[in-house]
Structures are given as structure tokens and as C-alpha cells.
Amino acid sequence: MEGVDHLAHERNKSEFDVDAMKIVWAGSPHAFDVSDRISKLVASDPGFRKDNRSTLSRKELFKNTLRKAAYAWKTIVDLRLSEEEAAKLRFYVDEPAFTDLHWGMFIPAIKGQGTEEQQQKWLPLAYKMQIIGCYAQTELGHGSNVQGLETTATFDSQTDEFIIHSPTLTSSKWWPGGLGKVATHAIAYARLIVGGREHGVHGFIVQLRSLEDHSPLLGITVGDIGMKFGNGAYNTMDNGVLQFDHVLDVYSIAFASIAVMLWVSQVTCEGKYKQSDVPRQLVYGTMVYVRQTIVADASCALSRAVCIATRYSAVRRQFGSQNGGPETQVIDYKTQQSRLFPLLASAYAFRFIGEWLKWLYADVTQRLQANDFSTLPEAHACTAGLKSLTTTATADGIEECRKLCGGHGYLCSSGLPELFAVYVPACTYEGDNTVLLLQVARFLMKTVSQLGSRLSSKKPVGTIAYMTRVEHLMQCRCGVQRGFAELSADLVEAAVAHCQLIVVSKFIEKLQQEIPGKGVKQQLEVLCNIYALFLLHKHQGDFLSTGCITPKHAALANDELRSLYSQVRPNAIALVDAFNYTDHYLGSILGCYDGNVYPKLYEAAWKDPLNESVVPDGYHLYIRPLLKQEIRTARL
Ligand SMILES: CCCCC/C=C/C(=O)SCCNC(=O)CCNC(=O)[C@H](O)C(C)(C)COP(=O)(O)OP(=O)(O)OC[C@H]1O[C@@H](n2cnc3c(N)ncnc32)[C@H](O)[C@@H]1OP(=O)(O)O
Ligand SMILES: Cc1cc2nc3c(=O)[nH]c(=O)nc-3n(C[C@H](O)[C@H](O)[C@H](O)COP(=O)(O)OP(=O)(O)OC[C@H]3O[C@@H](n4cnc5c(N)ncnc54)[C@H](O)[C@@H]3O)c2cc1C
């Protein structure tokens, strides 16, 4: 029945202050207030409806996305929302769109790598959305290998201009979000050539389309690359293809530095290339920034899936009826708990590692401004490795949550198929996860060779086993005289172990902070222990081979896990309520707050366009003749 909370009995079991946990999850009382207010604003506005996406054609879907993006911008302007509130509004609108790249990459790239002059010219236009930008780095032939990019930017000292060109088919820009149909400008990455000499890959701000009629400028061929994985899903995004045919970057030398997107190098008025004495990898700065935001995004996506699966696991009953009594809630089965609760713990673990990574990024950015590059390698390794670890675990976790919901998890109305389809490219974009782990492995090799065996002694006591595991994995690999390439598969395993060590140690450090609210810290300690012991159980071969745990320890750890699951069980619904997601944002009948699942599932089915007619289109043309055919063959 509507209005009845079918999960009230579960909520009454909670042993901690849920409102206090909501603040912990949000990060602060202020952050909670903004999130709570904006999520409800979006949920209550029919202009942000999203339950019909799977029934729209690609063109209808895309036009609806443009409508929503414009409506969101109007809402932001009319309500005079702050930058923080506007970002939250775009988050809760929950639709991949060109705005993700405009706000999430184009503007950060200018802020992070543009000169003062460039920032003064481009940021006011971008903030007012008087230009719409995208980040055009990947090409048809190269994505991972940035140094392999083929697009050229040749400085013509006669005309004081840069000529941007796609010399080959494989140099076509391919994948940039927002590029296909909307962006008016791009930060395009190209090989800078000055005076016949090549100076490596640099970013250039290039106008793509007329600000008058949106037509592509002279020399620009641009379009969408076509349908992607899953219906609806990421097809609201116009990932594009772009070719330059000797495009003059219209900014004369007076603005040459406007075009060359870098505070780390310049082309002077005399047409001389000036490389400042900073690491060339600062060209990659935007990718580092986005990777740390992707870690925070992972905790959001995984927590959405876990919220759906946990609430439905409490609603769903199957088997176990005694004397005609109610069947057993599937959340009470130990197998369901052993699959679901480690994911619940991971959602919280990724939330806190995302908070730490945000601090690390801010710290390294501050140091860079003082020309202190000492922590840049660690920041690169951490953002690359944690992006890889958290997105792989989240993509796998969303799929596991679908399976935890049985057949109904496969319905679009569960919200899980679309969440999976939209999320999984996170394992690829912003750096293929294996390629990024190889960067971590390279960092570990260098660290081991510099520090000797001990990677770091600055870890909480509870992580000794994890640290010993990483050292053991590295020693086993570094000890043998074989090349990096030969050992790369093994070194990637050590890189994963290193990233898991970081997540566990930062969760433990979080618990050393003052955490207000009855029972809140105790619940987080249970989740931290579940995360650490689940991984120890999953990788016990590694831990046993280090000798720092024995088979008896491994068995005890497994016993402790079961006990921890029992401690979580009465608090499970409250722990997912703490995410404070509206039913609109969850977009899931299985995960609806009141748990009134079956009537809503049944009602939703009849809204499917296929049920607009009792007799389906095609019956008279195809099925009736089939049913009425003379039996010409002997009866089978
Ligand atoms: C809101 C989300 C929307 C998502 C939209 C998606 C957008 C995108 O996908 S944008 C495109 C993303 N593309 C990538 O992520 C490409 C991945 N590839 C790379 O980052 C690089 O090609 C590489 C790091 C894999 C290799 O770069 P390369 O220049 O060949 O460098 P080396 O491996 O030779 O390393 C040299 C040296 O530089 C250090 N280093 C590498 N990257 C960085 C970095 N980002 N920051 C700082 N330092 C970096 C590396 O550690 C080496 O150091 P040493 O070992 O000390 O020499
Ligand atoms: C949805 C989506 C949105 C995107 N948005 C943008 C965008 O806005 N802007 C942009 O510029 N790009 C964007 N991209 C492109 C994205 O950044 C690249 O696809 C990504 O960096 C992976 O590169 P790749 O496609 O070349 O993969 P590849 O490197 O070709 O990967 C193929 C396989 O090769 C393996 N491999 C590659 N190199 C090595 C190596 N050295 N050692 C071992 N294995 C290796 C990989 O692990 C992988 O298994 C987007 C991609 C997607 C899917």
C-alpha cells in the first residue's frame, strides 16, 4: 500500500544515529545540506524526469538530453545557484551529457594548465556557457599511448598562426565526449612543431563550430561515433569524431600563447619555443585531476547499486516458511550476506579514500604552484592506481548487485542494467585500468630500488599484513633478473595490492578522527574490518605466502567475517539510508525507500509501449498466417 513503509521493521533495528551517518557520508553538515536540498529539488521537478529513457530512440534521447541540460542551466541561473550547488544539480540530474566534459575537463584544463592570459580570455566565456568545450585527446589510433598521438600543430612564423592538421585516418580525434554534436571549442592535443622541430604533445584551444549557426568551421569535419553499449545509457552523450584539414588556429601570434594551452611552455612572438623547466608530464595534469574525481564517483555508483540490492534483499522472501509463516528474507541467507556486505563496506571505503585523494590532489596542486614537484610521482601513482582499483571493483560490484536481485534485477525498472551500462566505461576512460596499474608498478619498482625493501613504515599497525604482502609481491618480482615487460602481469598484481593497502590504511586513519553520533564509529569499524578481512580472505594465498599469517589466522579471519556480517545485518538498511538518495536519483523500483516493490513492478510493466495494444503490431502480418497455415507436412 502507498504511504506505508514496508521497511520500517528493518529501520527500527538500527543501532546507530542514521542522521549522524548521513553527515559522515556527505563529508560535512554543509555538504549534507547542499546534497539534500539539491537532490530533492531535482526529484520534485518533472523537467528532470528520467524513467522513460529506455523507450526513446537515439535522436529522441539526445534531444531530450539537450533539453534537460538547457533546463538545468536555466534552473541554475534563475535560482542563482553557487558553483557547488550547480555541480550537485548536474550530479542528481544523472544523465551523461556534454556538460560533464565542459565542466569536468574543459574548464579544469584551462584552470590547471592555462596561463593567466588564457584563463582571463577563456574562463569567463566558459563559465557563462557562451562557449561549450570538450577534451579532444584520444584518436582513432591512439588513446593509452598519448605520446603516440599523430595530430600536428605547426607554427607558421610567416602568419604567426598554428596549423592544426590530421595527417592520417588514425589521427582523427575519436571518443571525446560532447564533441560529436555540441562542443563549439576543444582542447585538442597535438604534436607541436616549431621551425621544423617537434616538441611533443601539447594542448591547443581550437574553435570547432560557428557561434552563429553552429556549423563546423573551415577545415573541420566533425560528427558522432555512433551507438554505444546498452540502450539509453551513455547514448545521451555525443562522443565524437573530428578531423582537422590544415585548420588555422585563428589566434595570431599576439594570442599565440592563447592557443598553446600551457603554462609549462610558450611559443614566443619571434616564433621560438620556450620550454620551462617543469616536468613535461604536467601536460597530463587534467587527467590526474579527473582520475581523483572518478574515485569519488565510484563510491557514488557502488553505493547506489548496494542501496538497491540491500533494500530489495530485505523485501524479497524465498523459501524457509515454517508452518505457513512468512518465507525467509533473502538478506538473512549467509551467502547473500557474504556477497552483499563486502560491497557495502567497499562503498564506504571508497568514499573515504576519495576524500583523502581530493586532499592529496589539492596538496600537490599547491606544491606545483611553488614549483615543488616532489610529490608529483606519488600523486600520479595514487590517482592512477586508485582510479583503476575503485572502478574495477565498482563495475564488478554493480553487476553483483544485479545478480543479488535475481530476475527482477535484470529489469530496466530495477535501475541496475542502466547503472551498469553507464558506469562500466569508467574502467577504460581516463586511462585503461591495466595501463594505469602499470604506471603504479613502475612507481613501486623505482621506490623499492630507492628505499630498499621497505616501501613505507608510515602505515597503521592494522595494515602490517597488507604492507608485508606488497613487499613480498615486489621482492618476488624484482628479485628475478627479468625485464619489466616480462613481469608486467605479476607487477600489476603487486600494484593492486599496494592500492588495497592504501584504501585499508586510509579507512583506519578515518576511524582515528573524531566521529560524532551514537554508534556511528562502531558501525564504521565493523565496515572497515569487513573490507580488510574480505580482501585478506579473497587473497589469502598472497598473505599466507608472506608468512605473516598462518592458515589458522586465515581460518580465524573467516570466522570473524561471519561474525561481522551478523553485526551489520540489523543495521544494513540504515547504512544504505545514510546515503540519503531520493527514489528519483536511485531510479529503481527494487530500491524504493518504502520497499513497496511488487505493486510498483506490476504497475510499471503495463506502462511499457509494447502493452499499448493487446494484440501486438505484426500479429496479423506474421503470426496469424503462421497459426492458420495448412499442415502441409506429415504431423511430427
Ligand atoms: C567525468 C568523467 C568523464 C570521462 C571522460 C573521459 C575522458 C578521457 O578519457 S580523456 C583521455 C584519457 N586518456 C588517458 O588517460 C591516457 C592514458 N595514458 C597516459 O596517461 C600516458 O600515456 C601514460 C602515463 C600511460 C604514459 O605516458 P608517457 O608520457 O609515455 O610516460 P611514461 O610512461 O614514459 O612515464 C614517463 C614519466 O612520467 C611519469 N608520468 C606519467 N604520467 C604522469 C602524470 N599524469 N602525472 C605525473 N607524472 C606522470 C611517469 O611516472 C614516468 O615517471 P618516471 O618513471 O619517473 O620517469
Ligand atoms: C565512454 C568513453 C568516453 C571517453 N571520453 C573521452 C574524452 O572525452 N576525451 C578523450 O580524449 N578520450 C575519451 N575516451 C577515450 C579513452 O580515454 C580511451 O579509450 C582510453 O584511454 C583507453 O585507450 P585506448 O582506447 O587506446 O585503449 P588501448 O590502449 O587500445 O587498450 C586496449 C588493450 O590494450 C592494453 N594495453 C595498451 N597498452 C598496453 C601496455 N603498454 N601494456 C599492456 N597492455 C596494454 C589495454 O590494457 C587494453 O586491454 C573515452 C572513452 C570512452 C569509452
Give the integer Cα–Cα distance in Å for 416 and 410: 7
Question: Count of alpha carbons within 13 Å of 161, Cβ hemisphere only?
Answer: 12
Mean pLDDT in the chain? 91
Q: Which three cell numbers stand for residue 220?
A: 573541420
The best mutation among 432, 439, 488, 490 to test binding of ligand 2, ranked by most ligand atoms within 8 Å of the C-beta, falls on 432
For the CA of 189, the nearest atom of ligand 2: 11
Helix and strand counts by DSSP (H, E) for the chain: 23, 11
What residue owns the CA closest to ligand 2's atom 29? 144
Give the integer Cα–Cα distance in Å for 44 and 594: 17
Q: What is the pLDDT of residue 455?
A: 54
Give the integer Cα–Cα distance in Å for 122 and 449: 44
Q: What is the pLDDT of residue 16?
A: 98
Q: What is the pLDDT of residue 104?
A: 95
CA of 455 to the centre of ligand 2 (A): 30
- Please work out, in degrees rounded to the nearest 5, the angle formed at the alpha carbon of residue 137 by the alpha carbons of 135 and 138: 120
Average pLDDT over residues 390-397: 98
Q: What is the pLDDT of residue 512?
A: 96
Give the integer Cα–Cα distance in Å for 20 and 504: 23
At 256, is the pLDDT very low, low, confident or very high (cuts 50, 70, 90)?
very low
Better-scored residue on pLDDT, 458 or 46: 46
Our answer to whether residue 430 is catalytic in this structure is yes
Q: What is the pLDDT of residue 635?
A: 55
Average pLDDT over residues 500-522: 97
Residue of 54, 49, 51, 98 whose CA lies nearest to 230:
54
What residue owns the CA closest to ligand 1's atom 33? 439
Give the integer Cα–Cα distance in Å for 588 and 595: 11
What residue owns the CA closest to ligand 1's atom 42? 281
Q: Which three cell numbers stand for residue 23?
A: 553527515
Average pLDDT over residues 67-94: 96
- Please work out, in degrees rounded to the nearest 5, the angle formed at the alpha carbon of residue 401 by the alpha carbons of 398 and 404: 160
Query: Counting beta carbons within 10 angstroms of the beta carbon of residue 382, is it exposed (0 to 12), middle (13 to 18) or buried (19 or more)?
Result: buried
Q: Is the pLDDT of residue 39 over 80?
A: yes
Asked whether 439 and 381 are in contact (CB, 8 A), the reply is yes
Query: Which ligand approaches the C-alpha of residue 446 most closely?
Result: 1
At 480, is the pLDDT very low, low, confident or very high (cuts 50, 70, 90)?
low
CA of 493 to the centre of ligand 1 (A): 19
For the CA of 284, the nearest atom of ligand 1: 45
For the CA of 179, the nearest atom of ligand 2: 8
Query: Which ligand approaches the C-alpha of residue 439 most closely?
Result: 1
CA of 431 to the centre of ligand 2 (A): 6
At 458, is the pLDDT very low, low, confident or very high (cuts 50, 70, 90)?
low
Residue of 602, 488, 436, 471 whose CA lies nearest to 545:
471
Average pLDDT over residues 236-258: 71
Give the integer Cα–Cα distance in Å for 323 and 363: 63
Give the integer Cα–Cα distance in Å for 385 and 497: 10
Q: What is the pLDDT of residue 262?
A: 53
Average pLDDT over residues 147-166: 90
Cβ of 104 below 6 Å from ligand 2: no
Q: Is the pLDDT of residue 249 over 90?
A: no
Average pLDDT over residues 10-15: 97
Torsion region of 319: left, alpha or beta (phi above 0 gives left; psi -120 to 50 gives alpha): left
Q: Is the pLDDT of residue 406 over 50?
A: yes
Q: Is the dihedral of CA 588, 590, 595, 599 positive or negative?
A: positive
* Beta pairing partners, 223: 241
CA of 103 to the centre of ligand 1 (A): 21
Question: Which one is catalytic: 270, 430, 486, 630?
Answer: 430
Q: Tell me what percent of the residues of the chain surpass a pLDDT of 90.
A: 74
What residue owns the CA closest to ligand 1's atom 41? 281
CA of 284 to the centre of ligand 1 (A): 6
Q: Name the strand (E) or helix (H) holding 392.
A: helix 376-404
Query: Cβ contacts of residue 219 below 8 Å, gap of 6+?
Result: 244, 245, 246, 247, 248
Q: Is the pLDDT of residue 268 over 50?
A: yes
Average pLDDT over residues 536-564: 93
At 472, is the pLDDT very low, low, confident or very high (cuts 50, 70, 90)?
confident
Q: Is the dihedral of CA 459, 464, 465, 470 positive or negative?
A: positive
Q: Is the pLDDT of residue 481 over 80?
A: no
The best mutation among 103, 146, 294 to test binding of ligand 1, ranked by most ligand atoms within 8 Å of the C-beta, falls on 146
Average pLDDT over residues 475-491: 78
Dihedral angle over CA of 429, 430, 435, 436, nearest 10: -140
Question: Which range, of 98-107, 246-255, 438-447, 527-536, averages the lowest pLDDT?
Answer: 246-255
At 462, is the pLDDT very low, low, confident or very high (cuts 50, 70, 90)?
low
**What is the CB < 6 Å shell around ligand 1?**
100, 104, 135, 137-138, 143-147, 177, 281, 284, 287-288, 290, 376-377, 380, 429-431, 435, 439, 442, 446
Give the integer Cα–Cα distance in Å for 219 and 207: 11
Give the integer Cα–Cα distance in Å for 84 and 92: 13
Cβ of 428 below 6 Å from ligand 2: yes
Query: Which ligand approaches the C-alpha of residue 290 most closely?
Result: 1
- Model's pTM, two decimal places? 0.95
What residue owns the CA closest to ligand 2's atom 24? 143
Better-scored residue on pLDDT, 293 or 453: 293
Give the integer Cα–Cα distance in Å for 536 and 159: 63
Q: Is the pLDDT of residue 354 over 60?
A: yes
ipTM: 0.98
DSSP reduced 3-state for 635? coil
CA separation, residue 554 to residues 35, 151, 225, 545 (Å): 41, 54, 50, 12
- Considering all CA atoms of the chain, what is the largest pairwise distance in Å, rounded to the nearest integer? 92
At 473, is the pLDDT very low, low, confident or very high (cuts 50, 70, 90)?
confident
Q: Is the pLDDT of residue 259 over 50?
A: no
Residue of 14, 7, 11, 9 whose CA lies nearest to 594:
7
- Known binding residues: 138, 177
